[in-house]
Amino acid sequence: MTATRWLAEYAWLPGHAEPTADVLIEAEDGRITAVTPLVGSGRPAAGVEVLGDAVRLPGLTVPGLANAHSHAFHRALRGRTHGGRGDFWSWRDVMYSVAARLDPDSYLALARAAYAEMALAGITCVGEFHYLHHAPDGTPYADPNAMSAALVEAAAHAGVRITLLDTAYLTASVDGDPLVGPQRRFGDGNALRWAERVAAFRPEDDHARVGAAIHSVRAVPAGQLATVASLADRAGVPLHVHLSEQPAENDACRAVHGCTPTRLLADHGVLGRHTTAVHATHPTGADVALLGESRTGVCLCPTTERDLADGIGPARRMAEAGSPLSLGSDSHAVVDLFEEARAVELDERLRTRRRGHFTAAELVTAATVGGHAALGWGDAGRLSVGDRADLVTVRLDSARTAGVPPVGAFFAATAADVTNVVVDGRTVVADGRHLTVDVPAELRAAIEEVTS
């Protein structure tokens, strides 16, 4: 890979409250080697001949966005679950009908298209919370990790990095009911067998890492939580868990275990700085303290939480208690991390009827370095020397962003305003077009395959 230089009209540099004008960013072998604000540096300003080989990036350039919570196959459900009434549980029945249709080939096609849509939206790294492990009747494929391999390959085709969060999903309820029907393909029987399968999956490509996940306290019995947690701990990989998305989960956990899901996870060694709780929509005050004191991260998925009528989590309180925040598009009803980021602030306003809970810089942090850290990529998400050269450029001359000051871009831009995306020094999106995937055509074909 050769050295590359970009000249950003504005760039959001780490630790800055707002973007800086005219920043020269240089990279070699996929790593940032220099970040130079030209104004006041003594170096020539924009347009001068010596910068002739630099790629111009008009608009605002931010670090790569990390989508810390994805279920790729949910993309097939977009627009198909809005016809009637219902709640999370009725939505889940529709979701299961798509899950039942997938095999490694069709999942590769669907995930490739879904991840390419993410790349178009400026997402350079995805955390795939993956539990479609086996054939529909629960029989392992000849390669027991064929579905994981399909997702890793899909990310490579789409040009994004992936943390494959291999998910333990063993039971259908907090009571320990067995998996039935479409859930059978999720299960490995017990946590030890899950761990054996995960240990056998070692993607060789640099764009992929393997992490662990506990689907929820509904899906992993209390006595097996520590087995999953210790595997993640020994391997030094991220551990994610759906937590208190629904009040019903809290009620069931109290009825069976006499405590909240957060308390149960704490008692079994699941919480900690390598753990990310996804949603945390309905924590108690004590839960917020447990999460914060243990430095457990929280991944908020506001567009999904609104789509599924989950509720609004106490984002500010959790951040103040000590939980680093990240963002996920989860069900992909919307793939737009600008929308997720501003929703963290706007939902807090709805909840409290006050404005101004998060600064723009805090929202950018959650969307970039916060998400990458939650996915185990500690060297990504900042425009700083040594970090991975991930650059996402947002135009400031669209109908949505014209006249908006660069600091306000996260409150105005949509995914459609992303013009240029660089991942590990390689351009994946230019002029708003994915360079290798015809995203709308591939989405249409892949979704038709699993829904018709």
Catalytic residue ranges: 279, 330
As measured in angstroms, the least distance from the Cβ of 229 to Zn ion is 19
Total of residues contacting Zn ion (CB under 5 A) = 1
Contact between 164 and 151 under an 8 Å Cβ cutoff? The reply is yes
Q: For Zn ion, which is the closer residue by CB, 22 or 330?
A: 330
Concatenate the DSSP letters of all residues of 189-241 into one string: SSHHHHHHHHHT----STTEEEEEEE--TTTS-HHHHHHHHHHHHHHT--EEE
Question: Rounded CA gap, 365 and 435, in Å?
Answer: 27
CA angle, residues 67, 71, 73, in degrees to nearest 5? 130
Strand partners, 293: none
Stretch that binds Zn ion, among 59-67, 105-113, 118-126, 327-335 (CB under 5 A): 327-335
CA 271, CA 221: separation in Å to the nearest integer?
16
> For residue 243, which of 323, 346, 151 has the smallest C-alpha distance?
323
Give the shortest CB-71-to-Zn ion separation in angstroms. Answer: 6
218 phi, psi to nearest 5 deg:
-70, -30
Q: Which is nearer to Zn ion, 10 or 73 (CB)?
A: 73
**For Zn ion, which is the closer residue by CB, 330 or 336?**
330
Q: Please choose, out of 109-117, 142-150, 222-230, 326-334, the segment that lies near Zn ion by the rule CB under 5 A.
A: 326-334
Smallest distance, Zn ion to C-beta of residue 90, A: 17
Instruction: Kindly write out the interface string for residues 329-368 of this chain, putting x where it contacts Zn ion by CB under 5 A and - elsewhere.
Output: -x--------------------------------------
d(CA 124, CA 112): 14
Complex with Zn ion: residue 195 or 278, whichever CB lies closer: 278
Nearer to Zn ion, 4 or 148 (CB): 148
Q: Closer to Zn ion at the Cβ: 129 or 194?
A: 129
The distance of closest approach from Cβ of residue 281 to Zn ion in the complex, given in angstroms and rounded to an integer, is 12
Contact window for Zn ion (CB under 5 A) among 186-194, 312-320, 324-332, 373-381: 324-332
Sheet strands side by side (includes 20-28): 31-37, 20-28, 4-11, 55-63, 391-394, 418-423, 426-430, 433-434
Residues 131 and 72 sit within 8 Å (Cβ to Cβ): no
Of the listed pieces 40-48, 144-152, 328-336, 431-439, which binds Zn ion according to CB under 5 A?
328-336
Binding to Zn ion (CB under 5 A): which residues in 382-401?
none
CA 194/CA 144 separation, integer angstroms: 10
Q: How far is the CB of 318 from Zn ion (least distance, A)?
A: 18
Query: Which residue reads 């993309």 in tokens?
Result: 75
Which residue has its beta carbon closest to Zn ion? Answer: 330
Minimum distance of Zn ion from residue 382's CB (angstroms): 26
Residues making contact with Zn ion (CB under 5 A):
330
